[in-house]
């Protein structure tokens, strides 16, 4: 029986599974020191929504790509928009998001555009690749991970998406880097109560994209949140102290 911790990894906006794999390289290097290299595998493609995994002695990290191209100029560069429009460009170069933005949508609008479709993709992965012990998200992926964690714990939040009959159990833990509460009216419903799933919130003190205040507001929706603060910006911290703190949090669930 595979007793590795299985962790679902969700990338940030205008990224994809390949990009997030690279952004978490320092964390994986830390885990590699205790890896069973004879069992290390990369069995899936990076592209599209197909997951791929890194099988390690301690954990199995499963990275997936969001289903929506992220092409709003506020969130993507001209280069990325050109790649997104190129039908011959490989998926691992394209920008994807868990929900998308449009110029005519205001913060008072109810839906996160594309959110349900993304949930359908993730639910399929949870059932076919799970069960997962935890989730690890960055930026928009961290926000999505926070919502997913809450919905798996409380099946009354959005029962038309995840109800009591959905077969995947709540996560045992959640890790969010640069997370935030979306500026949509539905957020008051998503984060109305306290989520009790153990959580680690990674906060960059110099993050200008998602401010520390935004991250702390999201963390306050969890009961007894743990914090990892670093001096960097909108990044996954790669310094030794941060790697050790992340590993220490995860190993509590082995």
Of the CA atoms within 13 Å of residue 55, those in its CB half-sphere come to 12
Counting the structural domains of the chain, the total is 1
- Summarised one tens digit per residue, pLDDT across range 30-77 is 665 543 322 223 333 333 444 444 444 567 889 999 999 887 777 777
CATH number at residue 147: 3.40.50.1820
| 242 pLDDT tier (thresholds 50, 70, 90) | very high
- The Cα 85–Cα 178 span in angstroms is 28
Mean pLDDT on 133-152:
97
Mean pLDDT on 227-234:
96
- Summarised one tens digit per residue, pLDDT across range 3-25 is 678 999 999 999 999 999 999 98
Domain that residue 60 falls in: 5-251
Contact call for residues 145 and 135 (beta carbons, < 8 A): yes
Contact call for residues 64 and 9 (beta carbons, < 8 A): yes
């Amino acid at each position: 029986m595979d007793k590795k911790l299985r962790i679902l990894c969700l990338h940030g906006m205008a990224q994809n599974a390949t990009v997030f794999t690279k952004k978490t390289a320092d964390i994986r290097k830390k885990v590699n020191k205790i890896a069973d290299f004879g069992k290390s595998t990369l069995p899936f493609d990076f592209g599209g929504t197909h997951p791929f995994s890194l099988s390690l002695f301690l954990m199995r990290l499963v990275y997936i790509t969001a289903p929506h191209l992220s092409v709003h100029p506020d969130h993507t560069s001209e280069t990325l928009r050109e790649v997104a429009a190129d039908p011959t460009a490989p998926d691992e170069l394209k920008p994807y998001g868990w929900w998308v933005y449009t110029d005519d949508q205001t913060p008072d609008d109810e839906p996160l555009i594309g959110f349900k479709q993304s949930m359908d993709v993730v639910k399929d992965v949870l059932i076919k690749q799970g069960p997962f012990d935890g989730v690890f998200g960055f930026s928009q992926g961290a926000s999505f991970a926070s919502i997913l964690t809450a919905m798996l714990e409380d099946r009354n939040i959005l029962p038309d998406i995840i109800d009591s009959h959905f077969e995947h159990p709540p996560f045992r833990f959640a890790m969010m880097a640069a997370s935030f509460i979306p500026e949509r009216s539905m957020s008051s419903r998503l984060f109305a109560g306290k989520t009790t799933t153990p959580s680690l919130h990674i906060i960059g003190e110099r993050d200008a994209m998602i401010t520390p205040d935004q991250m702390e507001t999201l963390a306050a929706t969890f009961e007894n949140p743990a914090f990892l603060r670093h001096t960097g910006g909108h990044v996954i911290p790669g310094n030794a102290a941060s790697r050790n703190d992340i590993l220490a949090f995860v190993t509590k669930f082995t």
